[in-house]
Amino acid sequence: MAMTRDIRVLRAGRELTRQHLDLFRLPDGAEAAKWGGLVFPILSGDLIEVSGAGVPPAQCQLWQEEAPVSEFVPGPEGADSYVFVEGNAYACRQAEQRLTEAGFEVLRSGPNLSGGAGDWFIRLGPMADDGAAKLRNLLDQPARSITPSDDTPLRERLLVQALVASRAAQALLRTELDRARDSAEQSSIQIREGEARADSVDAMALRLAEAEAEVTELRARLEAIPRPVTPPRANRLETELSVAATHLLPRLEFVGGSMRFVAVELPDRAILWRALAELDRQERRLPASWKSLSGHSGWWERHFSTGRDNQGRLYARTVGTPLRWQVLVSHKQEQPMDLRRIGRM
């Protein structure tokens, strides 16, 4: 539901009215309110100045009370987890702030490149035993099974049409009311014409109040209609990369969250694929740029560029007969957890 606030409306420094107006965010993220079909920035003291240039609503973001749609994907055995957020960059920053304030360790965030659920990823560090339940409660996404009646879509469309028509009528009445009030205040015509205009203003004010009441009723009816929950989209890119790696790099066995990291966080995978192809062709000798992993016998390490930074990490060792490579693809920030995982293998 769109948020509203009691806003003072000024024109050339003179107060016209004080009303509950719909709130928006301007393209730069600043708070704003809609008046007369345009959006104006909210100044100190909860007021807007409508004598200046406004911004079309289509270029702004409607300020919603609902939290951004989010999905929680826990990691295995206390490993790092992902929260996927739908929306724009502001929605991602808002979700990060909520998680940080709730005590979760936010490691990184960025665009979700996997094609899976959510437009943005937020990577969280290991959490306590009750962390998953606490996180799901914070995201406030209870699963619901909704089966709307057959006429629900039609009824919803009709209510939306009525709401749009009422809003248009309301905006027109507001404009006419402003013009009539300005004319009544500035005109020096005869007393009878002034009284007639005042009566017209009162009549339009009454019609405006009736239109606002109708809008409130229609909005309540529209919000009462249950909406089906859209199931989260499958992470197709992660699945496709796993299948491709199995066929093209048959001697490599990826462990941990390697493919999820590759699908979600790597905008440039060319360097990684070249390094993995070189490793797949080796028996026991390693290609250049690899070095022994200190404190972990039999394991080797290589750094690579993720496309954002130079902190990508590759860990590998030989196992089995016929010989194959176990490979972990990760980031330097996860190194303490990765080394504990390697130590248990």
Q: Which two tokens stand for residue 209?
A: 């109040």
Q: Is 221 exposed, middle or buried (0-12, 13-18, 19+ CB in 10 A)?
A: middle
pLDDT at 66 over 60: no
pLDDT at 143 over 50: no
Domain ranges of the chain: 4-62, 70-139, 159-224, 236-344
Q: Give 140's pLDDT tier (boundaries 50, 70, 90).
A: low
How much of the chain is in helix, strand and coil states, percent to nearest 5? Answer: 40, 25, 35
Q: What CATH number was assigned to the domain covering residues 236-344?
A: 3.30.2310
Does the reported pTM lie above 0.75?
A: no
Nearest-angstrom CA–CA distance, 23 and 62 = 7
Nearest-angstrom CA–CA distance, 85 and 98 = 12
Is the CB of residue 219 less than 8 Å from the CB of residue 163? yes
Q: What's the pLDDT score for residue 231?
A: 42
Per-residue pLDDT of 2-11, as tens digits, reads: 678 899 999 9
DSSP string, 265-325: H-S--HHHHHHHHHHHT-SSSPPTT-EE-TTSTT-EEEEE--SS-S-EEEEEEEETTTTEE
Residue written as token pair 């990184």: 108
Q: What's the pLDDT score for residue 8?
A: 94
Q: How far is CA 17 from CA 50, 212, 224, in A?
A: 12, 15, 31
Give the CATH fold of the 70-139 domain: Alpha-Beta Plaits (3.30.70)
Q: Percentage of the chain with pLDDT > 70?
A: 83
